[in-house]
Chains A and B, each alone.
Chain A
């Protein structure tokens, strides 16, 4: 029942998101037809193009039309290049999705050990050092971290490429290498946030009665932490991780710009400069859908960790 309800919520959210994207793009001023034809075009030409694009129909009709195509994976055509948007988005996702997941992996690998370490050394030097590092990490914009990493590793040390993407087909390891610095820039900031959450979740858990029970059974502090504390602490951290994914994904838009990666973010920015509304609409919708999907997965995983979920 929980799973059914949660998937239902996901589908409704997806629909709401698509309406939101559509409404923002349609209601706000700016006529795509005029954008395509430029300011010199005659009113008649604009009107006929509006007709051709279906822009003179009512908004609900336009939306339903867009939706009925979207569910079949057809996101329309770019008004600039005339190419189908669906395959373009799929292509771009091949860079953005691995980048986001790689950043997420780095984040988890960095923040979990640091957070647990800080909690275990609560109020000792180790805790304070971690807290200073995470304070600094929190204050840095991800793209600036990217710029600095490029300066250091690409320009000075020449270990990594400063930007660009060879393509998975041409060079798998080259592609992986091209994503490493961007993913790291994103992970630096995200880990700072998650470390703080891990630390406080573990500390909170260590104050629970059942930890004291565990110790009254003869478990040492660290045994109580590993056997009873971590799984309980993971529950709130997982929620935050899911929510932070939205921030991480929007971070890719900026990072792709720093490292000149032809991902979804670049596509959106190019779409804006060319006033290519269908392209921006399609791209934005796919990003939001991705975020909602990750949150669905998080909620379902949550249930595996916490037997109380769905029982009440």
Chain B
């Protein structure tokens, strides 16, 4: 038995406001990050890559360096600003790789039950056991470290996640009668997946994408921190943290600011994802207890 209760859009409850606040906060944070990334293409307070041995480890505000300088005399704020380019770039490409390959694989597995599905999902299970960092280590060991390898490794590592989510969500849609109806008037499984199933699982996939975006940013930071991601002189938040590690006991500031930049961006994506989830799934929860 289910009780359907009319949606109370005229009387937004506390939780609805709360979730809306999440969404707005996420969007605002991301706007700032994206704006910073765009601005940094044209202007930064200092040249982020210029080494100046005359002013190492300046503290905040000294000589016009708002966040100070690192041990090589590079301006921290400028580095963080340009670092947002790397983060967003890696996020966009890694997620694109994952969805462009993962969605068709998941859809294919859901559309063709039986042996094909078993084989596809088994392989994806195994790839799933390779976390991005591990995959990147393998890739970097075989090729060379760099933003590109990191991005590809992260993208590949997320393919099985996207494939699983797509398959899981698709399976129940494929069971629905409108799919049977489409088959009865002659539509093939591929057409059905893209025209009938995909639009119905889009909200799930969009939420998944925002999650993957933030995971990709975290992974790139981790790889660059290990020295096998983005290579100098390209600024990257993870790279800045790696450089900061040696001096963290002396000047925690060098580790705090890039870390906050990462945390804020990831927080933005997560809040946005939660907001999108609620916006696309407007069913009012009915509590049994």
Contact = CB atoms under 8 A, between A and B. Distances in A.
* A–B: direct contact at CB < 8 Å: yes
A208 B1 CA distance: 10
B181 interface: no
Contact of B129 (A24, A28, A288): A288
Contacts of B132: 250
B252 interface: yes
A139 interface: yes
B129 A295 contact: yes
A288 B241 contact: no
B267 to A, nearest CB: 4
Interface in B240-289: 241, 244-245, 248-249, 252, 255-256, 259, 262-264, 266-267, 270-271, 285-289
A91 B192 CA distance: 53
Contacts of A277: 141-142
Question: Which among B126, B128, B140, B255 has the greatest number of chain A C-beta atoms within 10 A?
Answer: B126
Q: Tell me what chain B mostly uses at the interface: helix, strand, loop, or mixed.
A: helix
A272 to B, nearest CB: 5
B14 interface: yes
Interface string A20-36: 11001100111000000
A151 B129 contact: no
B129 to A, nearest CB: 4
A269 interface: yes
Contact of B142 (A24, A257, A295): A24
Interface in A255-312: 257-258, 268-269, 271-272, 275, 277, 280, 284, 287-288, 291-292, 295
Contact of A269 (B126, B226, B288): B226
| Interface range for B | 35 or more
Contacts of B125: 13
A258 B255 CA distance: 12
A106 interface: no
A155 interface: yes
A148 B259 contact: yes
Contacts of B127: 20
Interface stretch (A60-68, A79-87, A166-174, A241-249): A241-249
Nearest to A247: B131
B221 interface: yes
A116 interface: no
Q: Tell me what chain A mostly uses at the interface: helix, strand, loop, or mixed.
A: helix
| Interface range for A | 35 or more
Given A17-B129, A136-B263, A284-B134, A144 B255 contact: yes
Contact of B225 (A249, A257, A271, A272): A257
Interface string B117-159: 0000011011111111110011111110000000000000000
A122 B214 contact: no
A144 B263 CA distance: 10
Contacts of A148: 252, 255-256, 259
A17 B131 CA distance: 12
A185 B219 CA distance: 16
Given A24-B138, A208-B288, A284-B137, A141 B143 contact: no
B178 interface: no
A241 to B, nearest CB: 14
Contacts of B256: 148
Nearest to B263: A139
B228 interface: yes
A203 B4 CA distance: 18
A197 interface: no
The 3 closest A-B CB pairs, nearest first, are A250-B131, A28-B142, A139-B267
Given A148-B252, A148-B256, A254-B225, 6 more contacts: A24-B139, A206-B288, A224-B289, A250-B132, A269-B226, A269-B228
27 contacts: A12-B122, A13-B129, A20-B127, A20-B130, A24-B138, A25-B138, A28-B142, A30-B143, A122-B287, A139-B262, A139-B263, A139-B267, A140-B259, A141-B238, A143-B221, A143-B241, A144-B255, A207-B286, A211-B288, A212-B288, A221-B289, A246-B128, A254-B222, A257-B225, A257-B226, A288-B130, A292-B126
